[in-house]
Chain A
Amino acid sequence: MPAPSQRKISIPLHGASCLPAWSASREAQECFSLVDFVSSDLEDVAQKCSLSYKALVAVRRVLLAQFSAFPANGADLYEELKSSTAILSTGIASLDKLLDSGLYTGEVTELMGAPGSGKTQVCLSVAASVSLGLKQHVLFLDSTGGFTASRLYQMLQARAEDEEEQLEALQRVQVARAFDIYEMLGALQELRDSLSQQVTSSTGPLKVLLIDSVSAVIYPLLGGKQSEGLALMMQLARELKMLAREFSLAVVVTNQVTRNSSTGPLKPALGRSWSFVPSTRVLLESKEATWEKANTQRIASLVKSSRQPTGIQVELDIGNSDAQELSPVTPTQGL
């Protein structure tokens, strides 16, 4: 029997690449993908190549241990969540009330609204509140060009007197621009890398990731019969949720709205598949008022939440000096 050739097993996870298992007699070279190997009958495989059954079982166990997900116990997970979950104030008291005290880390929250409804202003308010009040870092991913540092500075000036504090807060807000899906995925990958390495110098203890807006990068992908656009969208969604969960971030995304018909209710843009992605969804609308002057009053309604009943509404003002709360309004007809 000829000496067995080198028994090298290289196992990449993707199904397309192969796991070569060399037979001692060098006749047949069975190629398996990882999934094939794990699901095949090991007795058969043992017969075809010269590795013993025991060795194959051991390899299988190692592969499963490395590539499959590990079940966690609910009690342990709860303990971990209790210590790592934080609730971050948005800087707008009425919006905090709507969100059951604020933005929860570990979740994706969506702000939806027509253009001019105040989504970017609310995002800036969140950035100001978290960087100044909570002294935590914020990453603002801008895909519309709507971020203006001067407006952020204005908000900070309204909240803090001390100029040094304001400048420190400004330094905690990182801005990155991503105008298409690949740039955005790249920026998220960079974020993941720096968070994994726990580089504290620039990103610091990052708590909030704001994406304004997610529809701007996804709209060009949708439409047509190809599923690739949808696959990219779901990949982005998955990455956002994983970042939120693994690193205890509060992820806020902004989205457009559409209607089914001219009188139907407003629904979030980007289709049905996206509708499942955020855990909490808030609709921002302009208050019906006279068109005489520029109106800074808005109504925020809770459209989706796992903690509060949907349909509750609050008023807020995204005005010049600061986003502040008006007198509480009784909830109007729910959505």
Chain B
Amino acid sequence: MGDAFRRAESGTQLLARLEGRSSLKNLEPYLFAEEGFPIHGDVIEFHGPEGTGKTEMLYHLIARCILPKSGGGLEVEVMFIDTDYHFDMLRLVTILEHRLVQSTEETIKQCLGKLFLVNCSSSTQLLLTLYSLENMFCTHPSLCLLVVDSISAFYWIDRSNGGESFNLQEINLKKCAELLEKLVREYHLALFATTQTIMQKSTNSAESSFSLKLQQETDTDYRPYLCKSWQQMVTHRIFFSKQYNSGNSKTFSFTSCHIKKKQIVKRSFSIAECGVQF
């Protein structure tokens, strides 16, 4: 199917795609256990309960991407797939206004011109949208970042629609995950996706595909519930949680795990009006 699109590409589009996407290495070094991440093809999962700063962190990353180089950004384009109508444009604009030295309507709109938003109302629509977005990745060589907030939004509805069979329940998400992997690999993107903690920690350790030692080290309330195709394509998993300090100031913290190299780092951050601050 990808061949069909390649045949339809013009020569210039082909060159644009092969020229390579900009590097995202300096996107946010604090988020990763090692230097030099994320690289193209990375799939980063933000996992955590409500109110722990996942969406704020996404705004921080988006701001970093769409700001001009003079404002401390990477000047690349971002595709944001919003599955639960959660995206707050006014909040993003507030963050941009704080980060730009000279924030006028013009500059804000210029930055926002690099952001593309899609709303999906079902997992089927998500799948079809990903197919039609392929064209967009072809024609926009500066589109390096794909964000899905959140990929677990259809979990209960899919489970109910699938009836008794686990396969039927997971099939849409499995197809979405496979398609995402293909898009990320072919178009050299980095994918950030949030998943919500909607299950309690499993007492049955055999159920968890996350290695037991790693889980004990990270001490998180993580119970994998999405399909295996998704779990296996994640290269970095970042667990968010809230911390309550003695000084009555709330901070947030995350534990970042590099799945393959089994490296972990813990950091904390706070959220102010200008966004995430480390």
Interfacial residues, chain A to chain B (CB-CB below 8 A)? 13-15, 34-35, 38-42, 57, 63-65, 67-75, 77-79, 81, 85, 227-228, 230-235, 237-238, 241-242, 244-245, 271-273, 275-277, 279, 304, 306-307, 310-311, 333-334
Contacts and interface: CB of A to CB of B under 8 A. Distances in A.
15 contacts: A34-B128, A35-B127, A35-B128, A35-B172, A39-B1, A40-B1, A74-B116, A74-B117, A75-B109, A78-B109, A227-B159, A231-B161, A241-B84, A306-B88, A333-B248
B124 interface: yes
8 interchain residue pairs of minimum CB distance: A231-B160, A74-B115, A74-B112, A241-B85, A68-B128, A275-B50, A230-B156, A68-B129
Interface stretch (B34-42, B130-138, B209-217, B232-240): B130-138
Contacts, number: 146
Residue from A227, A233, A237, A276 with most neighbouring chain B CB atoms (10 Å) = A276
A41 B3 CA distance: 9
B79 A74 contact: no
A3 B88 CA distance: 57
A213 B131 CA distance: 40
Contact of A68 (B50, B132, B199, B248): B132
B118 A273 contact: no
Interface residues of B, number: 56
Contact of A75 (B94, B112, B131): B112
- Most chain B beta carbons < 10 A, residue from A63, A67, A71, A244: A71
For B93, B117, B172, the residue with the greatest tally of chain A CB atoms inside 10 Å of its CB is B117
A35 B1 contact: no
A277 B83 CA distance: 12
B112 A279 contact: no
A57 B156 contact: no
A321 B4 CA distance: 70
Contact of A276 (B84, B128, B161): B84
Given A64-B132, A272-B50, A85 B90 contact: yes
A333 B248 CA distance: 7
A159 to B, nearest CB: 29
B198 A272 contact: yes
A78 B121 CA distance: 21
B125 A68 contact: yes
